[in-house]
Structure 1
């Protein structure tokens, strides 16, 4: 049996330095992985750049001699998904960048911007002799900018980014207004520290802990605890590559597996249901196969392909705050989780916020929490709207650690 995996990445990017357009670059990358399976052995050939299918499969067949075991049946299915809404020309990328810089310079001349504006077009395809024919395409744009006040001694004070499929300059302006206007206003901490942030950075340890192999080996914080209610009643976590949740992500995994509805729950109403396992891990440990294989370009597929999403509330962020104010970390680093699940994060720039509007800058501070509290008794929810970040916001109660200095 033969199988081919294809990835095409087309990037156009404008680089910004010191409020000026510094450069423009284009990059086109084509990656093909050819697989030949015979008697439970998989031969693989990885090729960056053009190659004929005939030659690619011939080289993969030669690599059967490496004797890499893969005793699994290849998948079937036909499906195509294209999330593209708009593709900008190179001229439009430049013009939007110029317009954005002109706006910030005229409204906020005291700030210097660095970063860039980029458009990425990603295509993923997978096909085999059993009739599998999957393709996934997406096109996204992202402004990612750091900002520095003219009186600051820092290399940069903060940053903001906005990703869109159909670029809207008004949304960029609104975000710039929100972040840069609030920088000049000083605020004190509210009585209760309700942290509002993108939740992806908080999921790293939980994602690792849900690895079925780690759970079986006893090295996960969730080992021996499947079926237990470890988190909040209103906390649910799923692998989700549905149209609503995908962002440059295909609907199939590295072995061509697709979940029903493009979604699979790992934690439901606080209860840990399962860990994630590709075909190899599922067979090795006798656990549920969850379709979580990454496509290794030059090797066997490996476990770890999860696009984790927290279930959103039916309330907006402001409604979840219920009249309270939130703390929004903007520039933070130098911390994270330890092996016990404790989380400490120094924040160099944070804002006070009403859930939508940034109200002013807070003194530097350190946030303290742990894995089971932030998604347990301290978990407030994820808003159904996307203020501040043009992305989903989580609300979590946290504590302030020792101040710097």
Structure 2
């Protein structure tokens, strides 16, 4: 009988912010353990939160073999890889000191705003080991600032946000950008003229969610994807490459999937130079439909591996452009910070309201724009209307974020 052990530890200190003050501090230290056993082509699983004895979990997993869940696939083995992506995590005391220092500046220099939500320091360890010689460990630590801001004179629940997700918080760099950012909030401007305008954003989760659903191997194989029967075809602009990216330094997540698969170089192109090269598969999907195995298994510590669920956090557009201002050539643009409520239809049409956005000249945010809506289509956004994914952005939201991406969009005023 083969055995596999998964351990996840999450240590977190969160300063809860209300009315620009630290209202509470929450400290968590949670360990989750999962055990999988494999026998006669079946898998049994047991899991627990806390320091449960492995013998008990192993016994529970063996008992759960009776459920008859099939898993006739070879386990990943003979691989050892341990990585610590941030050996100097921020401690609880430093987190509180940084939070107090940030709030002091905000209250002193930006008292026309009220700030709320959270500032967090987090440490995570994910381990996966099995009886076939697999021994993987991912350790990381992050600083995450997410502050909603509200203008004191506004009737809105929120008028914007300050965001910084990084491994090593740099106050000087944070304020170098966010002072000009907050000044732009104060400067109300009108939308540029024109029905079609260049729009930039780092909030590309909706696009990645849609792409992830249609790159799902089973859906692709059964004809339910926009990309079914298009393997090898050009779908998007030639410079676009979309990767399954497990580089922990870029994605802040484990470098292995839920079946212990480690990609060569930590990444694999799904769309390469605009062409569909491969789709998302785990071992089951690859074997069932004769597709290339791409190491895309997901799953909680106490669930069987699968490709169901959101793949967005592991998809990444490879940067293909450098200078935003040069790409704009003097044209006024929009930076969209918060677009809540938008989505794609089944054919790839896209529309969204834009709640928080700024006039953007490619180098700085000029002023805050009124609310509007925008629309397009996936194949236009990533095709003829695609501007680029930028390696160097003048906008700083921390190192752990998606890169700045731009397209021409139809503006609905």
**Which of 230, 252, 271 is the aligned partner of 1:225?**
230
Write out aligned runs for 1:93-242 (5 A). 93-190=95-192, 191=194, 193-198=197-202, 199-242=204-247
**Are 1:364 and 2:365 matched, yes or no?**
no
Normalising by structure 2, we get a TM-score of 0.93
Aligned length: 401
Alpha-carbon distance in structure 2 between the residues aligned to 1:374 and 1:210: 17
- Deviations along 1:349-371, one digit per CA (max 9) or x if unpaired, are 21001223110011211011111
Unpaired stretches in structure 1, ≥5 consecutive residues: none
Indicate the residue corresponding to 1:250 in structure 2: 254
Separation (CA, whole Å) in 2 of partners of 1:180 and 1:55: 54
TM-score normalised per structure 1: 0.95
Question: Does residue 395 of the first structure (1) align with residue 396 of the second (2)?
Answer: no
Query: How big is each residue's C-alpha offset from its partner over 1:248-280, in whole Å with a ceiling of 9 and x where there is no partner?
Result: x11110001111111100001110111111011
- Correspondences of 1:4-403 after superposition (within 5 Å): 4-76=5-77, 77-190=79-192, 191=194, 193-198=197-202, 199-247=204-252, 249-304=253-308, 305=311, 307-390=314-397, 391=401, 392-401=403-412, 403=413
Shift of the alpha carbon at 1:340? 1.7
1:104–1:176: 8 Å Cα contact kept in structure 2? no
Question: Partners in 1 of 2:289 and 2:72 — Cα distance?
Answer: 15
Q: Provide, for residues 272-294 of structure 1, a one-character-per-residue CA deviation record: whole Å limited to 9, x for no partner.
A: 11111101111221211111111
Question: What secondary structure does 2:355 align onto?
Answer: strand
Shift of 1:171: 2.5
Q: Secondary structure at the match of 2:251?
A: coil
Partner in structure 1 of residue 4 of structure 2: 3
Deviates more, 1:153-162 or 1:196-205: 196-205
Structure 1 stretch displaced more, 334-343 or 267-276: 334-343
Residue 143 (structure 1) shift: 0.7
Contact 1:100–1:173 (CA under 8 A) maintained in structure 2 = no
- For residues 204-227 of structure 1, the C-alpha deviation after alignment (integer angstroms, 9 at most, x for no partner) is 111111001111122111112111
- For 1:299 and 1:148, locate their aligned partners in 2 and report how far apart those are by CA, in whole Å: 41
Indicate the larger mover: 49-58 or 153-162. 49-58
